Structure 1
Amino acid sequence: MLATLTLLLGLPLALSIEPPSCAPLVPVTFDNTTIPTLLGQWFYIVGASRYPPHLAEMKAVTYAAFSFSPGSHEDELNVTEVMRLNGTCLVRNSSKIQVSHENSTMAHVDENRVVSMARLIQSDKDLLILNHINIDFPSLSLSARTPNVSKEHMEEFKAHLHCLDLTEEDMFDTSTKDACPLPGEKTGEGDTDPQLK
């Protein structure tokens, strides 16, 4: 999850590029048709933040995938997470997402306490761009249905970063080379099942 630096070639080129205009991040309005579209497998691609606890976690996580399944009521999703944290594959299936229709937020709840809160930003149906809002620091993350995203989708994410006054130096990405087996997936020779956390 190393920050990627873009080098500009020459001052004339830099001067001719206008910074992207910043429209407000538009959250998804949740309804009974929206929530089912979130179900299934997602891969965490990249996050950016200046919030110290998030920074520490983003540096330690080199791979993460998660899946949403229906919860005990229509505004709740069960979450199963698989991640490589400090070199060890872990599985966690004790958390939930509570979706609020009133303020279009998603609250990540673990052991009955809200761990984080975010707004899902309008984008491609195969992307989850989350603007984390319960902290005083700008934080944004990108997950997708596949372990890799297109250049265009990454540029969209970077444009949102720019509008939150975050830079590519604030980004920490994951890598498929650090992938952990997903729950129920056969592991190859020498692989070990992820530890349940």
Structure 2
Amino acid sequence: MLASLTLLLGLPLALATGDEPHGCTPLLPVTLDKATIHGLLGQWFYITGASTYEPHLEEFKAVKYSTFSFSPGSHEDELRITESMRVNETCVVKNAKIQIFWHNSTLVHVDDQVASPAKLIQSDKDLLILKNFNDNFLSLSLSARTPNVSKEQLEEFKAHLYCLGFTEEDIFYASEKDACPLPEEKMDEGDAELKLG
């Protein structure tokens, strides 16, 4: 889940304290409104992420592939999220909720009573950059409407990570070769078990 949100809201990420280093482009959060939330609806593919928050870091290491989709919730302050991911060798499908806090433009992923707050960062409409904040820990993830992004888009995202103090060794990538079958597809013998959560 976190991978998707941190990955996604991407999947859950943390706010940096202080200014970005000189020469770095600041990460500008989006002010949430109904049009912005409508633009999030539909399917996303987790691409990459990095975190200093140990639970997110462990999830980034374990998640080999993740896709998720947002749909309207039961009221205007909520989104539903369905995540399909390969965690190590197991495919998992999970359903969770995203609470929308309009007053401070924060998205909070709620899963198993664990809340991960995140800010949506301004970017291309087909990219989803999420910055999670848990105390002083930092997480940043990139998801996209397609399983791949351009070299330029990836390099721009990595430049943000480097400016925040991450190194190449801190960055974890999803791999399309590890994609899970869709829930309605029959799994062949030898495939990882599909678990519904």
TM-score tier by shorter-chain length is 0.7 to 0.9
Query: Residues 136 and 101 (structure 1 numbering): CA distance in 2 closer, same or farther, change over 3 Å?
Result: same
2:158 match? 158
Gaps of 5+ in 2: 1-20
Gaps of 5+ in 1: 1-18
Asked whether the equivalents of residues 92 and 196 of structure 2 are also in contact (C-alpha less than 8 Å), the reply is yes
Counterpart residue identity of residue 123, structure 1: S
3-state SS of 1:30 partner: coil
TM-score where L is the length of structure 1: 0.82
1:78 match? 80
Larger Rg computed on CA atoms: 1
Asked whether the equivalents of residues 63 and 84 of structure 1 are also in contact (C-alpha less than 8 Å), the reply is yes
Q: Which has the higher contact order (CA 8 A, sep 6+)?
A: 2
Query: Residues 20 and 40 (structure 1 numbering): CA distance in 2 closer, same or farther, change over 3 Å?
Result: farther
Question: Separation in 2 of the partners of 1:108 and 1:178?
Answer: 24
3-state SS of 2:183 partner: coil
- The alignment of Structure 1 onto Structure 2 pairs a total of residues equal to 176
Question: Is 2:67 the counterpart of 1:39?
Answer: no
Question: Separation in 2 of the partners of 1:153 and 1:187?
Answer: 35
TM-score where L is the length of structure 2: 0.82
1:104 match? 105
How big is the shift at 1:115? 2.5
Counterpart residue identity of residue 93, structure 2: V
Question: Separation in 1 of the partners of 2:126 and 2:183?
Answer: 21
Identity of aligned residues (%): 65
3-state SS of 1:54 partner: helix
1:59 match? 61
1:68 match? 70
Give CA deviations for 1:62-107 in whole Å, capped at 9, x if unaligned. 01111100001112110101011120001111x1111222111110
- When the two chains are superposed, the root-mean-square deviation of aligned CA atoms in Å is 1.9
How big is the shift at 1:114? 4.3
Aligned runs of 1:80-95 on 2, under 5 Å? Answer: 80-93=82-95, 95=96
1:22 match? 24
Question: Separation in 1 of the partners of 2:32 and 2:194?
Answer: 33
How big is the shift at 1:51? 1.7
3-state SS of 2:123 partner: coil
Q: Where do 4+ consecutive residues of structure 1 move more than 6 Å?
A: none
Question: Separation in 2 of the partners of 1:69 and 1:159?
Answer: 31
2:144 match? 144
How big is the shift at 1:156? 1.5
